[in-house]
Amino acid sequence: MANLKPTETEIIKPEKTALVVIDLQNGIANPERKLSPYTAAQVIQNAGKLIHAFIGKGAFVVLVRVSSIDGKDMFKPKTDLNLRPVQYPEGWDNLIPELANIKNAHVITKRQWGAFYGTDLDLQLRRRGIDTIVLCGVSTGIGVDTTAREAFQHGYHQIFVEDAMTAGTKEEHEYVCKTIFPRIGKIRTTEEVVSLLALH
């Protein structure tokens, strides 16, 4: 990736591209939470660089968060993992302070892993003529991966910002980045995306 030579198809066109930031909220991108290979602070810093670059070019920025009204609006599948009901602390679903006042960002509230199902994300992108999304956030193997697969099935081109996402384990992050993402999009770093955006 370090020797990336931009071509006409590599240059990111801000009028056709949206930055979609997954679940950078208090209960998920918590500095005290163990994440790998990047810390929450590193992901937040890189996501901030991306947001600044996209807003500077007048591109569409989408901030996604997961929340629940009463717990009854979220999926409850029967699984092999006997998970206990989660007691969410006050404010867990609020966007992190660094994202709280992003001007003109579209905020989406989802009730499951992916950002497309049951939301207006696809509608908002298509009304703006957007055909490419740049994805980052937490976590790589859950919210980001599910959104990426949904975007693939909706026909979007995708760029995955590897150092602006992270997971519960390094193995989870690397599996998705090495096995899934190369089949449905392109993997780039924060600096590469910012540089490709600046070329337009």
Q: Where are the domains of the chain?
A: 14-43+54-67+92-198
The structure's pTM equals 0.92
3-state secondary structure 112-166: CCCCCCCCCHHHHHHHCCCCEEEEEEECHHHHHHHHHHHHHHCCCEEEEEEEEEE
Among the residue ranges 54-63, 69-78, 118-127, the one predicted with the least confidence is 69-78
End-to-end CA distance of the chain: 20
* 3-class DSSP state of 46: helix
Tokens of 75: 């999926």
pLDDT at residue 86, as a whole number: 64
Give the Cα separation of 15 and 59 in Å (integer): 6
pLDDT tens-digit readout, 33-64: 999 999 999 999 999 999 999 999 999 999 99
Residue from 140, 134, 138 nearest 171 by CA = 140
What's the whole-number mean pLDDT along residues 11-29? 96
Q: What is the pLDDT of residue 1?
A: 43
**Is 6's pLDDT higher than 60?**
no
Is it true that domain 14-43+54-67+92-198 has CATH number 3.40.50.850?
Answer: yes
- Chain center to CA of 4: 23
What confidence tens digit (pLDDT) does each residue in 24-38 have? 999 999 988 999 999
Burial 61-82 (b: 16+ CB within 10 A, else e): bbbbbbeeeeeeeeeeeeeeee
Average pLDDT, the chain: 92
Helix (H) or strand (E) holding 21: strand 17-22
| Alpha-carbon dihedral angle through residues 82, 37, 115, 81, given to the nearest 10 degrees | -10
pLDDT the model gives residue 145:
98
